[in-house]
Amino acid sequence: MLHLGGLRTALFNYLLARRYGGEFILRIEDTDQARLVPGAAEGIVQTLEWAGLNFDEGPGKGPDKYFQSQRSDIYRKHAQELLDRGAAYRCFCSTSRLEALRTEQTAQGRAPAYDRHCAHLSSRQIDEKLRAGERHTVRMRAPSAEDSDSGRFYDIVHRAMDFRGPAGFDDAVLLKSDGQPTYHLANVVDDHLMRITHVLRGEEWLMSTPKHRALFTAFGWQAPQYAHLPLLMNPDGSKLSKRNDDGPVQRYIDDGYLPESLVNYTALLGWHPETPQELFTLRQLEQSFSLAGLSRSKSVVSRERLDWLNRQHLRAALADPDKSAGLIQQARAEVAAASGLETASVRPETVATALRLAGDRLTFTKDLYNAVPFMFGDPALDTTAAEQALILVPHEFHIPILNALEHALASEVSESWIGFAKSVAAAAQVPTKHVMMMLRFALT
């Protein structure tokens, strides 16, 4: 299930590719079989398609293999290349030894890091262990801070970075004991083979960048440019996670947000346009996006702003003949569900008229029935709202209202009706909404 932060990462990479004539490539990182969720890859593809982010290469589209689990032979070949160069070594340490080492280092106040226990095994010792079938991993032989400049680099978002030190240069595992690669090896190899020039990803990978740059150096390859995007936050200051209600993109889809509004909103989470413009179509974003507009500040996810954007995009979509037909059919089904009516009995013409009259006040199409229930059935005179209207509007105003209606039944509701309701409400000293409710009941 794609997280809102994942959608933002995909969107920014997509916009960068479209802005400068590059290619947007979708890779599926599925090498951690223990955490693999059935259907997750299909869900990612479907969500990107829903958002309009069409990739140039990816699953089912392109000349390559895009599931990393299908590229294991490629990663093992490159791991062997590092072993042959002395830039990596085999580690036969057991899980229990590594856990004990981590516990000891933590107790001493040191950052956990591998102690290179296996880094100096002789060829004979390694061959004996391999013949005995001992499980092992392959670790990178990280350069020291003094011998490498990998920890000092320029990040497009965070500018000049300097991570030279133990935290950035531990001997990371490249191949796990099951022969599958870790993120570090797989992504470096894929970035090179797929000719990736820019990597835009979450800032949780910022500390790992020195390792990746060191791997590029070990292979003799040119590293891409990096841009690490700041975290998304909840209004209370906590990190937005997949377990939050506002985390999964599917939640927004289920709630009824339009793809145009969610894409517009997501683009503004960490990117500032050069103008005060807030309302963007995807095409406008493609033309406006620039790396210079990326922000280092964390962005707070707010439904209030998203709701406003959805109202604007809904209004625009209803005015677009190419989009309004689909929204009418969607609203028709939602009205039927909310009212208990059969879909066939809800006339598309009535829905279209209702959307035209109430569209400016709707956040979602699913709100239509509650906004104008009187357009889809007889008025319910026993509701609390009706009873309040009858009680609060003095009796002497009932006849004037009906008389006015009698003379104007041929005309549509317009500003004159609103003005009339306001004048009656002022004279009766009651809220205008009660008079408007009586008008609605009478008209229907």
Catalytic residues: 242
In 10 A of CB 101, how many CB atoms? 16
CA distance 157 to 290: 12
CA distance 102 to 94: 13
Give which of 184, 189, 198 is closest to 9, Cα–Cα.
198
In 10 A of CB 213, how many CB atoms? 22
Q: Could you tell me the two tokens for 278?
A: 């807030």
CA distance 161 to 228: 11
Please work out, in degrees rounded to the nearest 5, the angle formed at the alpha carbon of residue 161 by the alpha carbons of 196 and 210: 55
Q: How far is CA 206 from CA 27, 196, 210, 232, 291, in A?
A: 20, 18, 8, 15, 17
For 267, residues 6+ apart whose C-beta sits below 8 A from its C-beta are 8, 11, 12, 15, 280, 285, 289
